[in-house]
A and B are shown apart, each in its own frame.
Chain A
Amino acid sequence: MSRFLEVEGMTAGYGAVTVLRNISLYVDHGENVGLFGPNGHGKTTLLRTLSGLMRAAMGKVRFDGQDISRARPWEIVGLGMVQAQQGNTLFGEMEIAETLELAAFNRRAREKAAANLDRIYTLFPRLAERKRQKAKTLSGGERQMLSIGAALMCAPRLLLLDEPTLGLSPRLKEELAEALRAISQDVPLVVVEQDVELLLALSNRLYLIEHGEVQREIGKDNAPDHQEIMDMYFGEHA
């Protein structure tokens, strides 16, 4: 059986600037994968390219056996790979409930919209309390919850999360972490996260992304200790 997600020799960037160089990685069925590395080294660019917001200059992406290297973002969502962006404010003038309802846009998602909505309000009671509140008036943590909730409304078969706990207070972070652990029980994740504890708790395998390249793959058998990972975050091992 082929891998769930497979990236082969991907090179991508902005205009003349190359950010990702020859990235190869994979996600197998039934595993969660973490991505980490210093700031500005290409993690967000990688996720944007996977979701089809940017086109890779070179390389192949296969999702569930299909070549999606040239697919449009909405086609990729339709196939089931969904992303919650880093620091996403979604639609400032839209209310929470309306945003979540809209997010079940693809055909697969519409059938499950009612059930998914219930589940999201259970996962994030804060959203349930603020159904009529506009997105622009939400706090950072609530925005993050809405963004993840909206991604869940798309009925993801693989969920890409870009720094879900960035800039949150410890209390909110814990609230969100708990929800993420619950989500990871039934949706496979690819997660970019600065909090080492959370990253290790969520993922089976890690990739260190540095200078736009996969510097290291970390599985259960070659797991480094906490301090080593912290060093890699700040790029000190190089």
Chain B
Amino acid sequence: MDTLISTLLSGVVLGALYALMASGLSLVWTTLGVFNFAHGALMTIGAFVAWTVSEAVGLGLPAGVVAGVASAALLGVVVEYLLIRPFYGRPNMLLITVMTTLAGMIILEKGAQMIWGARLKQLPRLIDGEVSIFGAVISAHEALIIVVAPLILLALWQFTTRTYLGRSLRAVGQNQDAAALLGINVSFTFALAFGLGAALAGLTGVLLGGIRFITPSLGAEPLVKAMIVVIFGGLGSLGATVGAAFVIGLAEAFLVLTLGLYWTPFALFLGLIAVLIFRPNGLFGRV
């Protein structure tokens, strides 16, 4: 019983992190039609900057969290400006930006290695202590992730459905010319989507940095997971992405329990392929 509940809880923690990560990726995809391969590297930089500000400079964790998220957001805007903007309107933009954002990922990872070195770093937990839920014990940090991620995603959802700026993101994603003719500044919207997406990556990095060691390749695995989540969810709405994130987080936790770490990625991909065969538009996509 205890293993069941603790597996469930670790699945929910994973799901919450994947949801944050994947919703940033999905925001960029739905607004610009670009798959940002540098998304994981932006997450890594966010974690490193948080570590520098909080630990190396010693300004404390709250300042570190703010700096980590802000620097990722800023870098996201720079990535959009340098690696995506020059190629707008090209018929093969999707392919070009696969290459440019892959290049961005490598540059950011190598840059992180040069600045912060290969030695492992770790952020302190956001809150100390442990929480017991139905007899299973998780760290308060992980409990915080379970609470904070849905709140952030709820705020994001409110933003994209209730505000002028947030709605303009969705409008631009669906019809750029029509959005422009309603007075929306399309290039600004692109930068906004990238900045917001990167901020979500940075936040994931800061949260993950309290659980795992921060290395230049910290973001690699979360990037792959986020991509699986976004494709699995059907490349569409925020709700579908978040739903898919929790399905995959829970599946992963139970696969690790039953099949072990070694076979879990294999089983996850097999599941993804099976879903895409029977539901080509994703788990929550319209058939």
Contacts and interface: CB of A to CB of B under 8 A. Distances in A.
A67 interface: no
Contacts of A89: 175, 178
B130 interface: no
A129 B60 CA distance: 55
A238 B175 CA distance: 38
Given A102-B167, A102-B168, A91 B174 contact: yes
B278 interface: no
Nearest to A150: B182
A74 B171 CA distance: 14
A102 B175 contact: no
Given A77-B183, A154-B182, A105 B168 contact: yes
Categorize the interface residue count of chain A.
20 to 34
Given A91-B170, A93-B170, A105 B184 contact: yes
B178 A88 contact: yes
- Majority SS of interface residues in chain B? helix
A144 interface: no
A53 B171 CA distance: 16
Contacts, number: 73
A83 B178 CA distance: 9
A74 B183 contact: yes
B177 interface: yes
Interface in B157-209: 161, 164, 167-168, 170-171, 174-175, 177-186
A74 B185 contact: yes
A140 interface: no
Interface of B: 161, 164, 167-168, 170-171, 174-175, 177-186
3 closest residue pairs by CB, A with B? A77-B183, A73-B180, A106-B183
Interface of A: 51-53, 72-74, 77-78, 82-85, 88-94, 98-99, 101-103, 105-106, 109-110, 150-151, 153-154
